[in-house]
Amino acid sequence: MKKDILGRKGRIAGILLLLFLFFLPFIAPRFYVYMASIILLTGLLATSLNFVLGYGGVFQFHHCVFYGAGAYGTALMITKGGVPLWISFIAGPVVAALLGLVMGIICVRLSKLYFGMLQISLGSLVWVIIYRWYSFTGGDDGIHGITMPDIISSYNNAYYFTLFVSLICLFIMYRMIKSPFGSALQGIRDNPIRSEMIGINVRRHQVMALTIAGFFAGVAGALFVVVDNTVFPDMLFWTLSLETVIMCLVGGWFTFLGPMLGTAIIIALRTFVSTYTVYWALVLGIIMVLVIFFLPTGVLGFIEEKLNKKMIEPVIEE
């Protein structure tokens, strides 16, 4: 969407950004390559959340459940499954998508805030089970030192794998949003009753969107296993979910690349601030308050508003 609005300049900027990302391992030290991988996969997570939250208008507060499910699914398949390694990478996202389907079917009967709170409670159940099931999931220690296929075991190759997979996933999600399905989803967000009237099956569309978002969050989780070789129960804790919502907000929902930008801002800032002080949460909280008060459409939303004043603002309201 950024490219549509910025036109030729935007396209050049996009190509330059891709070239930069491609050559990053040659010019940057290992730490920054690792950080870029984390930004990419967390950005994928935030984009998948935005898929249901910004475009679908569904209050999916506890999205990291699917991130964690994807990561744990992959990790457990590798360590205990005994199947070919590459199948494990498919298995994680599929587990997450199934979880998304089940939770979607349960939650979609409710609307807005009730949906969000029921979703948080179901997600917490999943968290508690993983947190307590020492014999299977390793409990609060998580699983460490997961062996990767040789081809993606080095830092740079893991980075390229992450870059490649997340770009493909972003592209697929972008096409989905531009497809009739995506339009129907946005229609439901803006006016569910009218959408129902013109023959859109609201709940089925929402459940499908939740399943798709769960799948891509699961992909992000599997990528985390590739980059970090660990999983731990905090990946499913609700604070991380709300941090992901913050990333969407900072970058700007209703824009496709906003969550990615927001993730980059938050993670780069966290890395920067953490070298000076341990009180990162304090800084993040203050940034949050400022963004909510002065920049409610996020950075990219703000830029788009400046560039294109005619744009009609979508509303999420009860």
- Residues in contact with other proteins by CB under 8 A are 59, 61, 106, 109-110, 112-114, 116-118, 120-122, 124-125, 128-129, 132-134, 237-239, 242, 245-246, 249, 278-282, 284-286, 288-289, 292-293, 296, 316-318
Q: What are phi and psi of 310, to 5 degrees?
A: -75, -15
User: How many angstroms separate the CA atoms of 234 and 141, rounded?
Assistant: 10
Cβ–Cβ under 8 Å, residues 138 and 237: no
Q: Which is nearer to other proteins, 224 or 237 (CB)?
A: 237
User: How many angstroms separate the CA atoms of 126 and 69, rounded?
Assistant: 9
Q: Which is nearer to other proteins, 16 or 129 (CB)?
A: 129
Q: Which is nearer to other proteins, 137 or 162 (CB)?
A: 137
List, in sequence order, every residue forming a beta bridge with 143; answer none if it has no partner.
231
User: Of 157, 185, 189, nearest to 316 (Cα)?
Assistant: 189
Within 8 A by CB and 6+ apart from 243, the residues are: 266, 284
DSSP category for residue 82: -
Q: Which is nearer to other proteins, 84 or 285 (CB)?
A: 285
DSSP category for residue 147: -
CB of 121 to other proteins, least distance (A): 5
Cβ–Cβ under 8 Å, residues 96 and 66: yes
User: Of 216, 42, 226, 64, nearest to 130 (Cα)?
Assistant: 64
What letters, b where the CB count within 10 A reaches 16 and e where it falls short, cover 113-127? eebbebbbebbbebb
CB of 75 to other proteins, least distance (A): 21
CB of 68 to other proteins, least distance (A): 15
Cβ–Cβ under 8 Å, residues 53 and 59: yes
Q: What are phi and psi of 143, to 5 degrees?
A: -120, 130
CB of 102 to other proteins, least distance (A): 11
CB of 152 to other proteins, least distance (A): 34
CB of 281 to other proteins, least distance (A): 4
Q: Which is nearer to other proteins, 118 or 169 (CB)?
A: 118
CB of 237 to other proteins, least distance (A): 7
User: How many angstroms separate the CA atoms of 150 and 141, rounded?
Assistant: 25
CB of 205 to other proteins, least distance (A): 20
User: How many angstroms separate the CA atoms of 241 and 88, rounded?
Assistant: 24
Specify the 3-state DSSP secondary structure of 145.
coil
Q: Which is nearer to other proteins, 57 or 221 (CB)?
A: 57
CB of 17 to other proteins, least distance (A): 28
Q: Which is nearer to other proteins, 2 or 189 (CB)?
A: 189
Q: Which is nearer to other proteins, 86 or 294 (CB)?
A: 294
Q: Which is nearer to other proteins, 150 or 318 (CB)?
A: 318
Within 8 A by CB and 6+ apart from 100, the residues are: 66, 210, 211, 212, 213, 214, 215, 217
